[in-house]
Structure formats: structure tokens, C-alpha cells
């Protein structure tokens, strides 16, 4: 199986997992990226079995709408049973690095609201220590240099993601060469820097379930 087939398999596994819990009032939180896109395509076959979705990015909203799935503003939704999204890295405790697609802030907001966060990823995303994937940090544009200097003090090498503006109009710094031994602590430290909107560590709110695509089949890891 190639990486796309593994992503497709976990996307289908996520649909199979949530379907028995859905009814005509259910609204589902949907993440961003290629694995989330496979999930949207698989979910669309069942669009008559739930109400609609909340999207973590403009790209995801467009894809959902393209399938005829209603997209709601998060502020109009009182309850989200599930949030389904990919990740750039996960450790065995389901702490994640996210934001390779620059959607980390909205992803973190939707994940915070959802009762159950199901992460879907191919097996290459499971690591023993987070940080080989550069940690994305969303930053207010005027604070770019200040935040970069503070990130260097924390031991990282921040690199400006050229030509990328988030859906919120901000820039991304990708922080290289971090070995993240205490994800909740680093998440809090980076978020405390003035000018940071949020960073791509999902440790204060990790995933609840990781569906991991491997050559042997879809493995389920729980927190
Ligand atoms: C977007 C994300 C994605 O979930 C992450 O980058 C994984 O993407 P893919 O499913 O394409 O491998 O955090 O901001």
C-alpha cells in the first residue's frame, strides 16, 4: 500500500467509527490536509445521515460544500461529538504536531470544542519523540522578528514560511531542531510569547483516538 492508500484506509475507518453515533442533528468537526480530504470524500457518501460540518479551514469548507454537505459557523453550533483530522506527527500519548497545512489555529479551536478528537494518519506519522517535523507557529505579522528571537532562546531554529498567509491573515514560523520531551510545557511556553496566535503542538488537548494506517491494517491507539 502506498501512503495515499494508507490515508484512504484510515479515513474510511474514521467514517466507520463515527457512523453508528450520528443522527439527523449531528454536526461533525472536520480538519485540513490530504488525509482529512480523504475523510471528507468518504463521509460524503453518508451525507443524508447527519446534519452538517464545521470546517477548520476555508479549503475544507470548500471541499465539504462541493459535496453538498452544509458547513456551519462554529459559533452557531452548541455541540460537536467528533473532530476528525490528520497530523504531521503523533507520539504514543497522542500528543500531536499539526499545522503543516497552516490551519493549526482553527484546527485547535474546533478540537477544543469537540467531545472526541479522532486523529487519522499513515504509520509514518508515529514517532517516539516529537520534533523532527518542524513545529509550525502562527504569528501576528508585525511580531515576526520578536517571536523568532524568543523561539531561538527556547532552543529552536525558526524559519519563515515564505508566501504563506493563514486563513486568519497571519504568518507561519516553522521551528526546526526541537526535541520535544515535554510537549505540554513547550506548548504553553510558546503560546506565552507575545505575538504568537498559537503553535502546532496539540498536547493540552491531544487526540483521544489515533487511527494509524499500516501495511498490516488500521491500528487503533487510545490515550
Ligand atoms: C494542516 C494539518 C494537517 O493535519 C497535517 O499537515 C497533516 O496533513 P496530511 O494529512 O496532508 O498529511 O495539520 O494544518
Read off the pLDDT of residues 97-152 as tens digits, 9 standing for 90 and up.
999 999 999 999 999 999 999 999 999 999 999 999 999 999 999 999 999 999 99
CB 124 within 8 A of CB 3: yes
The reply to whether 33 sits in an annotated binding site is yes
Residue 179 has pLDDT above 90, yes or no: no
Active-site choice (58, 81, 107, 162): 107
Distance from Cα 34 to the centre of ligand 1, integer Å: 7
Name the residue with the closest Cα to ligand 1, atom 6: 100
61 with 67: CB under 8 angstroms?
Answer: no
In the annotation, is 138 catalytic?
Answer: no
The reply to whether 125 sits in an annotated binding site is yes
Cell of 115: 467531545
Q: For 81-95, b where at least 16 C-beta lie within 10 A, e where not — what string?
A: bbbbbbbbbbbeebb
Residue 10 CA, chain-centre distance (Å), reads 15
User: How many residues would you count in the chain?
Assistant: 223
Ligand 1 shell residues, CB under 6 Å: 31-35, 85-88, 98-104, 107
**What's the chain's average pLDDT?**
97
Q: Which of 40, 152, 37, 15 is nearest to 101 (CA)?
A: 37
Q: E strands, the chain, where? A: 27-30, 52-55, 82-85, 89-90, 96-97, 116-122, 135-139, 157-160, 171-176, 196-199, 201-202, 209-214, 217-222
Is residue 195 marked as binding?
Answer: no
Rounded to two decimals, the pTM is 0.97
Q: For 38-63, write each residue's pLDDT tens digit.
A: 999 999 999 999 999 999 999 999 99
Amino acid at each position: 500500500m502506498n501512503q495515499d492508500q494508507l490515508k484512504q484506509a484510515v479515513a474510511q475507518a474514521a467514517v466507520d467509527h463515527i457512523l453508528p453515533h450520528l443522527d439527523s442533528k449531528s454536526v461533525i468537526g472536520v480538519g485540513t490536509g490530504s488525509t482529512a480530504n480523504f475523510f471528507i470524500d468518504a463521509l460524503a457518501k453518508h451525507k443524508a445521515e447527519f446534519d452538517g460540518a464545521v470546517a477548520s479551514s476555508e479549503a475544507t469548507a470548500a471541499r465539504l460544500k462541493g459535496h453538498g454537505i452544509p458547513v456551519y459557523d462554529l459559533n452557531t453550533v452548541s455541540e460537536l461529538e467528533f473532530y476528525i483530522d490528520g497530523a504531521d506527527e503523533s507520539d504514543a500519548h497522542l500528543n500531536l504536531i499539526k499545522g503543516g497545512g497552516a490551519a493549526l489555529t482553527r484546527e485547535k479551536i474546533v478540537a477544543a470544542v469537540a467531545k472526541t478528537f479522532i486523529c487519522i494518519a499513515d504509520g509514518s506519522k508515529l514517532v517516539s519523540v516529537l520534533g523532527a517535523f518542524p513545529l509550525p507557529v502562527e504569528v501576528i505579522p508585525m511580531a515576526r522578528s520578536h517571536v523568532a528571537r524568543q523561539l531561538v532562546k527556547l532552543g529552536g531554529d525558526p524559519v519563515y514560511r515564505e508566501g504563506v498567509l493563514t486563513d486568519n491573515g497571519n504568518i507561519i514560523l516553522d521551528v526546526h531542531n526541537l526535541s520535544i520531551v515535554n510537549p505540554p510545557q513547550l506548548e504553553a511556553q510558546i503560546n506565552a510569547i507575545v505575538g504568537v496566535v498559537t503553535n502546532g503542538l496539540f498536547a493540552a488537548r491531544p487526540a483521544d483516538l489515533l487511527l494509524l494506517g499500516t501495511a498490516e491494517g488500521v491500528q487503533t491507539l487510545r490515550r
